Amino acid sequence: MKFNIMKFSSSALKGGGYIKAVEIMNERSKQHNTLGVISSIKGSVDLLNESSNLAANGKLEDSVSKVNKLYELYLDEVNIIKNKNKVSHKLIELKEELLNLLKTISILGEITPSIKDRVTAYAESFSLEVLEVTARSMGIDVDARSGGNWGIITDDEYGSANPLYNSSYQAIKNATNQAVGNKVLVVGGLTGKTRDGRVTYMGRGSSDMVAATFAVSLNADILEVWSNVDGLMTADPRFISNAKSISRLSYNEARELLSFNSELFAPASLNLLSKQNIKINIKNINNRNLQGTLIERDSQISPNVVKAVVYIDQISIITLEGVNIQKLLPRILARMIEHNIEIRMMSLSASATELSIIVPFNTLNKCKSIIEFEFLGKDINDYHVVNSACAISIVGEGMKGTPGVAAKLFNSVARNSINVLMITQGSSELNIGFVVDSSSCIKALKSVHSEFIESS
C-alpha cells in the first residue's frame, strides 16, 4: 500500500503552520494514502519539563504559570482559524487535566521518570488537538493519534526511550491497514508506549525518529520534512547573507551537516532511512514551490568540491599534558560518559604528550572538576583551557582524493589573520575543519564561504 509520508517540524507550526500542514496533507492525499507526523510547537517540551520540575519542588504557582504559557501558545494557533469557539473547550480540558496532574506531583513532592513523560506528552496532545480542529474547520477528515496509539512500541528508558523497531513495524502496519480510507492519518511526534502501555517520551529529535519509523514500516520511497527554511544551506544565513540552499546531498554529506545542526533532522533518524534507501526532501512550508534539499544515496559533486561550511559555537577546548597520555583515553572517556558530557572532537599529538578535548561550554566546569579530582598530579602533569571557541568545517563528497583542499582552506583563514587553535579531519575525507576563538568565528565563516562557495 503506497503512502505519502511527511513530517512537520516544530519551527514550522507557529503562526498558522497547522493550516499549511493540513493543506499539504490534503493535497498529497489526492494522489496516495497520506500520513503526517506533527511535532509540538517549539518550546512546548521545555515549558512542560520546567513545570514538572517546579511542581516536584513545591513551586506549584510557578508551575501553573508555565502551563498557562503553554496553553497560550496553542490558543494563538486556534485563534488564527475559523470557528475557533468549537476548540477552546477541548484545550481547556487538556489544560485542566495537566494542572491536576501537576497538583498531585506537588503534593507528593517528587516525580518519577514515568510521570515526567506523562507530563511531557501533553505537548503532543495539545498539538494534535489544534491539528484536528484546523482540519475540521477546513472540512478535511483526519485520524489523529499519539505515536503509541499508532503502534510505536519503545523500551522503558523514560525521557529518551528507543523504539523497538521490529515490534513497532508490525504494529504500525496493522494500525494503518485498519485506518486507511478517505481520512488523512496524523501521528503525534513525541511519544510511544512500552509493551505494557505506559507512555514514553523519546527525547530530542523524537518526531524525526517517529517519521523515520513510519517511513520504513510503510515502505515509503521518500520522506518529506517540512520546516521554515528552504532546505540545508551552504552556510548559516544569519551570518552569511548570500548563503544558498543546496539542491542535492548524499546521505553521508547530510549526516555531516546535520551533526552540526540537528534541528532540521536528527542524524540517528537519517541513518535509519539510509539503510532502507529512503530519500528525504527538506522543504519550506512557507515556500512550497521550491525544490528544497533532496537527500539520497548518490549526490552531485560540486565543481568546487565543497558543498557547505558549518560550525559549532559555544564550545571549549581542554588540553591535557602528560607522558603516554593515550593510555588514559579509556578512563577519561569513561568519566565523561558517566557524567553525561558530550565530547564533540578529540585530537592527540604525535608525541602522545597532549590530548585536546572539545566539549560544550556549559559542561566545562564539570570537566575541570573531573580532571582536577581524578587525574591532575597523578597521570596528568598540567592542563589548560580555551573557554570560548568555535569549530568550523567544510563538507563535500568532492573532497575525497582532491589535492589542495586543505591548503586552500588554511590559506583563506591565514589571509584574514585568523589564528587556528586546532585542526580536525574525519576519516571519510568528507569533512575538514579547524577550531578558532569565538571572537573570530563569523570572520572565519565568511572567509571560508567566500573561498569555496562564492568563488565557484
Residue 423 pLDDT: 87
Hey, what domains does the chain have and what are their CATH numbers? 3-220 (3.40.1160.10), 308-454 (3.30.2130.10)
Instruction: Calculate mean pLDDT across residues 420-443.
Output: 86
Among the listed residues 99, 100, 90, 120, the one whose alpha carbon sits nearest the alpha carbon of residue 192: 120
Report pLDDT digits (tens) over 92-114. 999 999 999 999 999 999 999 99
pLDDT of 85 > 60? The answer is no
Report pLDDT digits (tens) over 170-182. 999 999 998 877 7
DSSP 224-256: EEEESSSSSBSS-TTT-TT--B-SEEEHHHHHH
Q: What percent of the chain has pLDDT over 70?
A: 96
Those residues with Cβ within 8 angstroms of residue 65's Cβ, 6 or more apart along the chain or in another chain: none
Query: CB–CB of 22/134 below 8 Å?
Result: yes
Report pLDDT digits (tens) over 196-223. 999 999 998 999 999 999 999 999 999 9
Query: What is the rounded CA–CA span in Å between residue 317 and residue 401?
Result: 30
Report pLDDT digits (tens) over 106-138. 999 999 999 999 999 999 999 999 999 999 889
